[in-house]
Amino acid sequence: MGRAFVYVILGGGVAAGYAAHEFVKRGVSHGELCIISEEPVAPYERPALSKGYLLPEDPARLPAFHCCVGTNEERLTPKWYKEHGIELVLGTRVKSADVRRKTLLTATGETITYKILIVATGARALKLEEFGVSGSDADGVCYLRDLADANRLVNVMQSSSGGNAVVIGGGYIGMECAASLVISNINVTMVFPEAHCMARLFTPKIASYYEEFYKSKGVQFVKGTVLTSFDFDSDQKVTAVNLRDGTKLPADMVIVGIGIRPNTSLFEGQLTLEKGGIKVNGRMQSSNSSVYAVGDVATFPVKIFSETRRLEHVDSARKAARHAVAAIIEPEKTTEFDYLPFFYSRVFTLSWQFYGDNTGDVVHFGDFSGNRFGAYWVNKGQVVGSFLEGGTKEEYEAIAKITRLKPAIEDLADLEKQGLGFALTL
């Protein structure tokens, strides 16, 4: 049993949706493109799962957040794929790939061949078992990566209303889910090993602002320690979390957000890997010229910083996907991908954006007792990164522009004094 396509996108997440949109914009013919996804639904905006999807009232539900509503573009429903002659093979896991023969073998036993493959397999959530703790499959213990996880989490949240949740991990999932739990009337304790939340990005001063805000909403923090085991009742439902420092936290539910691993395993030994992802060039092309990789799974050259990076954020997945399709369809007109890293989050009434790189000296600015403040990162005498909480569209555009320009800074104290004005007047 088998089918043949010119283009196959392996994975049906954010990057797949934006790649499909770009293929159609560039005139792909009916029957040429196929998307294979383990998920049972057409590509959707994954960021919604830790935000609108978890709201107690009027929550976001599909089909409302299929790609590409995240960038205010058309919403690609299953009907859209059909109308454009794109084969959506859903609920189907690819279990092996042969890049020499240009074939994929699905778990249902079908062989699908391609001329060009775009790998968009994203990542999987790291499991506690990988840190020597068992209990991930127990009742009340939740992860959040895909729609199935989100549906399970919603059910657990509903049955935990008024009760206690422990959030393991102080990164993006931890912070966004903790906010959603509070909004749903669940008491939250966050546990993470670092000295402050969002340790990969925030400075201690920025982190302190968010932690104080969360505390004002009732969230408790247990920092500098990790989970060692769970307690369960006779039905194997979680009842408490035991920490390395000896603390026992009662828990009706637990959310675990301890990072991800890119889904590269199908290509190990076949494609060059770097920094945990599939290494691609500025056209998103891997070490095999017929295979492209985009999104969480790709390690690509970030031109502005002259080094390769693997980014785990939606803007990068969307833009890299569009770029790969441009490079495939119009190679002679497509230059190297020139991407400025962009991360953001929204929690409670707060909202921040970050552009660039968080290396070098930090210069904070603004009102940390209000809700409009930020920071610049200055490395080797140039601005390389900018963060802003509570900005307007114009202000965010200004910090993005300044980060892209990398202006020289002679006096950090002067930059601090100018604050946001520096970006707005440049």
- Judged by beta carbon, residue 69 or residue 253, the one nearer ligand ISD is 69
248-250 vs 238-243, strand pairing mode:
antiparallel
342 token code pair: 């962009």
Q: Does 50 bind ligand NAD (CB under 6 A)?
A: yes
Q: Does 51 bind ligand ISD (CB under 6 A)?
A: yes
- Judged by beta carbon, residue 47 or residue 301, the one nearer ligand ISD is 47
Which residue in 8, 9, 15, 400 binds ligand FAD (CB under 6 A)?
15
174 binds, among ligand NAD, ligand FAD, ligand ISD, none (CB under 5 to 8 A by kind): ligand NAD
The reply to whether omega before 68 is within 30° of 0 (cis) is yes
d(CA 278, CA 293): 7
The reply to whether omega before 40 is within 30° of 0 (cis) is no
d(CA 291, CA 395): 39
Kindly state the smallest distance separating residue 319's Cβ from ligand ISD, in Å. 13
For residue 113, what are the CA distances in angstroms to 60, 104, 267, 405?
Answer: 36, 6, 16, 44
d(CA 54, CA 37): 24
- Write down the residue that tokens 């699905």 correspond to: 106
Q: Does 313 bind ligand FAD (CB under 6 A)?
A: yes
| String of contacts with ligand NAD for each residue 222-261, x by CB under 6 A | ----xx-----------------------------xxxx-
Question: Which secondary-structure segment (H or E) carries 398?
Answer: helix 393-405
User: Which residues ranging from 250 to 269 are in contact with ligand FAD (CB under 6 A)?
Assistant: 263, 266
How many other C-beta atoms lie within 10 A of the C-beta of residue 417? 12
The reply to whether omega before 193 is within 30° of 0 (cis) is no
Residues that bind ligand ISD (CB under 6 A): 45, 47-48, 51-52, 60, 65, 69-70, 314
Residues that bind ligand FAD (CB under 6 A): 11-16, 36-39, 46-47, 49-50, 93-94, 120-123, 144-146, 263, 266, 295-297, 312-315, 317, 343-345
Residues that bind ligand NAD (CB under 6 A): 50, 131, 168-174, 176, 192-194, 199-200, 226-227, 257-260, 312-313, 343, 345
